[in-house]
Amino acid sequence: MSSSDIVPTAPWIDRREPLDEWLSPVPPGAVVGLDTEFMRRNTFYPQLALLQLAFDERYALIDPVAFPLGDSLKRALADQPVVTVMHSAGEDLEALSPALPDGPHTLFDTQIAAAFVGMGLGISYRALVADLVGDELDKGETRSDWLQRPLTESQKLYATLDVVHLHPVHAILAERLATRDRAAWHAEDCARLKARASHRDGEPQPQRAFKGSSEWSPDKQALLRRVLRWRDTTARTLDRPRPWLVEDAQAANLVYELPRSLADLEARTRGQRSLRAPQRQELFDLIVRPVTPEEIETTAPIPGHPVGEDKRALAAMKQVIDTLATSLDLPPGLLCARRSMEEYVVSRQWPESLEGWRRGVLHERLSALLPD
């Protein structure tokens, strides 16, 4: 069977009342398929362009450009115990955050589930459907302009077919998760993904990604954190990409060698599209203000690259994880990402990313490998 043999009916909904009517039969305990099409056009937030829903062999295409979704989705998918099935849901949840600020009540991510049942990390929806359902999805509209109106019939069919198979895929994966006793692990990772997507205050310790600054003094690291958090907050307020304010390399350079004056800052940031006079003044005032002891205390040190004994410990940990992943039939990257290993070796602090089921599996094994 191919997707060309299926022509599902999906009404086009561009008003609040028909959306509420479509959602009204969804009861507690239901399984609802959900997908989105969104665009990133010179904005911080993804622009939600289309919402696709599937429930009980009914489908709908929702036009969020035509009307505000309000609390319709929240009441149907978040305020009652409904399972919402999505594939690789991170960016979709971000695009949906105005309508689902805390995400759906229960998320079932099919890409994560596929990794837990031996289908590899990061499998595409097209490959998943082909493997589990035997249908070849047409991906010809992948790069479409989803904000154009009206959408073409080809776009509408493509969008509908993206949710037609979510229910059978969910049923197969849920059964395989139960057979492998991995349902609880999958649910935990889905909840973690949902929490990350609903975190609207930005990364609290963004400086930790700047490994090249790991040898900086504590006050310099605290100042880098201050600048990066300002950039994130301002980008969200202006709804513009972070690099339009200050690029990563610029941020580090400005902190390493402080601007001598506002004119110096302007010369060193010329061409930044969203760094207008008010933002440039804010940034200058921010940079020249002395760092406080409290800022230094609350700034997590930037982890450097492992060297010496730490590097050997990292290699030993990788062997343990590879062996354990093989025995569990899990991708090593799902069990423990390399960056999490590096963070643990360098900081000696158990990473938040390895809490939950991973701590129970890994902590005793990895902690024994830390150098004295």
Based on the domain organization, do 55 and 150 belong to the same domain? yes
First to last CA, the chain: 60
Please determine, for residue 4, whether its predicted confidence score (pLDDT) is greater than 50.
no
Model confidence at 198, in pLDDT bands (50, 70, 90)? confident
Q: 298-329, pLDDT tens digit by residue?
A: 999 999 889 999 999 999 999 999 999 999 99
Tell how far CA 87 is from the center of its chain. 12
Based on the domain organization, do 210 and 178 belong to the same domain? no
Work out the percent of the chain whose per-residue pLDDT is above 70.
Answer: 97
CATH (domain of 253)? 1.10.150.80
Q: Which residues of 128-164 are buried (b: 16+ CB within 10 A; e: fewer)?
A: bbeebbebebeeebeebebeeeebeeebbbbbbbbbb
Rounded to an integer, the average pLDDT of 195-199 is 82
Q: Quote the number of domains for the chain.
A: 3
Q: Work out the number of other CB atoms within 10 angstroms of the CB of residue 29.
A: 10
Based on the domain organization, do 262 and 320 belong to the same domain? no
Residue 3 or residue 171, greater confidence: 171
What mean pLDDT is reported for the chain? 94
Based on the domain organization, do 285 and 352 belong to the same domain? no
Based on the domain organization, do 95 and 9 belong to the same domain? yes
Last residue of a domain, one of 139, 172, 197: 197
CA distance 49 to 39: 7
**What is the reported pTM?**
0.91
Residue 372 falls inside a structural domain: no
Residues ≥6 apart with Cβ < 8 Å to 161: 3, 6, 8, 137, 138
Q: Which of 53-67, 167-181, 187-201, 350-364 has the lowest mean pLDDT?
A: 187-201
Residue 244 falls inside a structural domain: yes
Rounded to an integer, the average pLDDT of 89-110 is 95
Domain membership of residue 315 as a residue range: 309-367
CATH (domain of 70)? 3.30.420.10
Residues ≥6 apart with Cβ < 8 Å to 273: 240, 244
Q: 282-292, pLDDT tens digit by residue?
A: 999 999 999 99
pLDDT of residue 69: 95
Please determine, for residue 200, whether its predicted confidence score (pLDDT) is greater than 80.
no
Based on the domain organization, do 294 and 313 belong to the same domain? no
Strand ranges across the sheet with 106-109: 12-13, 58-62, 47-55, 31-39, 83-86, 106-109
Give the bridge partners for 48, in sequence order. 38
Based on the domain organization, do 262 and 315 belong to the same domain? no
Last residue of a domain, one of 149, 172, 197: 197
- Paired tokens of 208: 């930790």
Residue 304 falls inside a structural domain: no
Cis check for the bond before 290: say yes or no (omega within 30 of 0). Answer: no
What amino acid occupies position 224?
A: L
- Paired tokens of 21: 């009517």
